[in-house]
Amino acid sequence: MSLKALDYESLNENVKNCQYAVRGELYLRASELQKEGKKQIIFTNVGNPHALGQKPLTFPRQVVALCQAPFLLDNPNVGMIFPADAIARAKHYLSLTSGGLGAYSDSRGLLGVRKEVAEFIQRRDGYPRLTSFLGWLDSGSSATVSTLLSYISLLGGTLVPYYLEETDNWGLDVNNLRQSVAQARSQGITVRAMVIINPGNPTGQCLSEANLREILKFCCDERLVLLGDEVYQQNIYQDERPFISSKKVLMDMGAPLSKEVQLISFHTVSKGYWGECGQRGGYFEMTNIPPRTVEEIYKVASIALSPNVSAQIFMGLMVSPPKPGDISYDQFVRESKGILESLRRRARIMTDGFNSCKNVVCNFTEGAMYSFPQIKLPPKAIQAAKQAGKVPDVFYCLKLLEATGISTVPGSGFGQREGVFHLRTTILPAEEEMPEIMESFKKFNDEFMSQYGDNFGYSRM
């Protein structure tokens, strides 16, 4: 019997081989347990702040509500419900559209919002823009990265992995980068781009300025475009190593590098103290990308016609929040500061909790939304996983899920050194719930190590 076009056996093998561990086996099993209703599931597998109780910021929701229902602006009593600055901003953004939020925008996004993004980057990095903003709004950074790198997996491209140095606070060793690229080229692979996530996902580190300089110099030497995922730049939980954008470091390095290194930087409304994951809004900025290449990227972007228009307004509000003296300023600062201070405390609670557990070591979460502890699995556990047909850290995380309801992501889903095992969890559960969650983890881990350990143990790193 002949196969039909969309029978599973007819699908492209590259599609079948595509993996996304964050919504993989663990998540599916957690969803099953949730449907059964026998156990409360704590979904720490994905950076989804509002799903774990984070409250939305008031001001941006007020502005977007007015934009979504512009007839409210005609109501003479609107000022009794919404503050004057929210009303003014809603009118401003509606004036930028060609028919309200229900109309397509330019494929690059609303020009007025793009200008606000350009001004934000100028304030952040300290460099005036010498030309018009070469960056576009998008429906979330994930969508943009997918557009720019769609050739990798689904079109049969090759991922060239590199490892971070766990004992050096997840720093990046450029010598290892050179070895990875050299090995790939020896196999006939044409290496075109390098991706960094800063602050890090899943590792939670902030790259130092010195490390960023090394990376940019490496990309220049190897003729690689650097894709800088900087969506967690608001999520910083220590003062010693602040976020510094790749663009600023590149400009600080001066010519010739500042005019040669090709860089695409990403930001989003999904992370930070906004956490508006469901809105799907972001931007990307292109540096030193030739005009004809930009035209081709524009052509691909145009296929989708328009980024999410309401998300573009969220982005405008993120890069241009209330200013001192505005009616909504004090409340905005109070809400955003409260979220970040709580996240900082949660990062410490989680790191300390992991480090109190047998055969678990964890670097402090300097930024982003994740902890990435190393689980030193006993040989008997590794053998049991093999017999069950599971990767060892998947085996551990499934046992953790079944025992506690905590849904995590195995480190193998991100790539890790041979024989080393991790899990990724967000630091997003409510602060008041965090001690109980960590106690539940510790109890499970103690029992797991007792079951499989035979007095097995490692010294601390």
pLDDT band at 130 (very low <50, low <70, confident <90, very high): very low
pTM of the model: 0.89
Beta bridge partners of 72: none
pLDDT band at 416 (very low <50, low <70, confident <90, very high): confident
Mention the CATH class of domain 104-319: alpha beta
Cβ-contact 340, 320 below 8 angstroms: no
pLDDT band at 391 (very low <50, low <70, confident <90, very high): very high
Which pLDDT does position 405 carry in this prediction? 93
Distance between CA atoms of residues 425 and 3, nearest Å: 42
Least confident stretch, 171-180, 274-283, 423-432: 274-283
Q: Topology of 11-53+337-452 in CATH?
A: Aspartate Aminotransferase, domain 1 (3.90.1150)
Q: For the CA atoms of 254, 252, 209, 172, what is the dihedral angle to 10 degrees? A: -30
pLDDT at 361 over 90: yes
Tens digits of per-residue pLDDT, 433-446? Answer: 999 999 999 999 99
Which pLDDT does position 145 carry in this prediction? 63
Tens digits of per-residue pLDDT, 249-267? Answer: 999 999 999 999 999 999 9
Burial 239-274 (b: 16+ CB within 10 A, else e): eebebbbbbbbbbbbeeebbeebbbbbbbbbbbbbb
Which pLDDT does position 142 carry in this prediction? 58
Which pLDDT does position 9 carry in this prediction? 76
pLDDT band at 157 (very low <50, low <70, confident <90, very high): confident
Cβ-contact 224, 192 below 8 angstroms: yes
pLDDT band at 128 (very low <50, low <70, confident <90, very high): confident
Tens digits of per-residue pLDDT, 23-41? Answer: 677 888 888 888 888 788 8
What is the residue-averaged pLDDT of the chain?
Answer: 89
Using CA of residue 54, residue 60, residue 63, residue 69, what is the dihedral sign?
A: negative
pLDDT band at 131 (very low <50, low <70, confident <90, very high): very low
Which pLDDT does position 445 carry in this prediction? 96
Alpha carbon 92 to its chain centroid, in Å, reads 30
Least confident stretch, 82-96, 200-214, 409-423: 409-423
Which pLDDT does position 461 carry in this prediction? 45
Domain ranges of the chain: 11-53+337-452, 104-319
Tens digits of per-residue pLDDT, 309-346? Answer: 999 999 999 999 999 999 999 999 999 999 999 999 99
Distance between CA atoms of residues 257 and 14, nearest Å: 36
Q: What is the mean pLDDT of residues 73-91?
A: 96
210 token code pair: 């010195």
C-alpha gyration radius of the chain: 24
pLDDT band at 200 (very low <50, low <70, confident <90, very high): very high
Distance between CA atoms of residues 380 and 390, nearest Å: 14
